[in-house]
Amino acid sequence: MDHKDPPSGTQWTIRDGDHEAVVVEVGGGLRAYRHAGREVLDGYPADELCPASAGSVLAPWPNRIRDGRYTLDGVTHQLALSEPTANNAIHGLVRWVPWHAVEVSDRAVTVGCTLPAQPGYPWTLRLGTTWDVGPDGLRATHRATNLGDRPAPFGLGVHPYLAVPGRVEDVMLSVPGRTRLLLDGRKLPIGAARVAGGDRDFTASRAIGGAQLDDAFGEVPDGGSAVTLSTVDGESIAEVWADGSFRWWQVFTGDPLPAPRTRRSVAVEPMTCPPDAFHSGRDVITIEPGDTWQGSWGIAPGR
């Protein structure tokens, strides 16, 4: 039988005790993470093309940009419309780019890629991610260095789907954001609302129930925050934490995904900036020439 490479390229498996994760070459993302034999992520098999951005690194912007167009310093830039049905540019430029191994050990792998200047994003960045597992769970540290001679706008998000026991409806969810964005039919922000007392108020843990979530939550605590999933009996499913670099959380219950992924898991996505940030300028990071941005997040699995 002819050997065929996986669609996601080279696979790097890292282990420490009961923790095991698989990082992939295509996109430099996370294909699987399990703890004590339990799948923490709703990932995908090695022979499958990455579905629905599962485990992907989203850079140099997360989420969507309206019409793929934005203006910076008086210059208008036009990105390719990677979500053509809604006329949006979605989830950055590196999901399908090969990343290479920089350093590999039993419990950690650092992968990197160079994002070349191109139409729509004329800045060259060197990107790197260190994935490591240890007694407390999985940790990712992302870096972006501006290799050009002009300040570069930047944002980053990650798209892990958390595996849940039973039905999404029965999952207890806690999200620290005090506001959420109001979206139009293209899933682009048209305003914001306080969550207090509303049907999207998850500041105290409560069941997801019938809520169909694809929401960006903001106004998180300074210095870092966490989203938690648990069972109705109070047993922890997982905690996704992020340092203060990540000012937003996107929570997605997967309702529009095709079977069998429809409403099967909960994506908990740390983001440095909100959807359409290159338009609004909100929480966009500026990386000066030669400088490096860094941010970390991770998953603590239930025990």
pLDDT in tens, 70-122: 999 999 999 999 999 999 999 999 999 999 999 999 999 999 999 999 999 99
Cis before residue 84, ω within 30 degrees of 0? no
Q: What's CA 87's distance to the chain center, in Å?
A: 21
Cα separation of 165 and 163, whole Å?
7
Mean pLDDT, the chain, whole residue set:
96
Q: What residue ranges define each of the domains in the chain, with the CATH number in brackets?
A: 11-301 (2.70.98.10)
- Output the pLDDT for position 276: 97
Mark the ranges of the chain whose per-residue pLDDT is less than 70.
1-3, 303
Cα-Cα-Cα-Cα torsion 235, 22, 132, 28, nearest 10 degrees, comes to: -120
Residue written as token pair 């922000």: 189
Question: Which of 68, 277, 89, 61 shows the shortest CA–CA distance to 154?
Answer: 61
pLDDT of 303 reads 67
Residue 97, Cα to own-chain centre: how many angstroms? 16
Collapsed DSSP state (helix, strand, coil) of residue 211? coil
Angle at Cα 108 formed by Cα 225 and Cα 298, nearest 5°? Answer: 10
Which candidate, 171, 173, 281, 186, places its Cα nearest to that of 217? 173
- What pTM, to 2 d.p., does this model score? 0.96
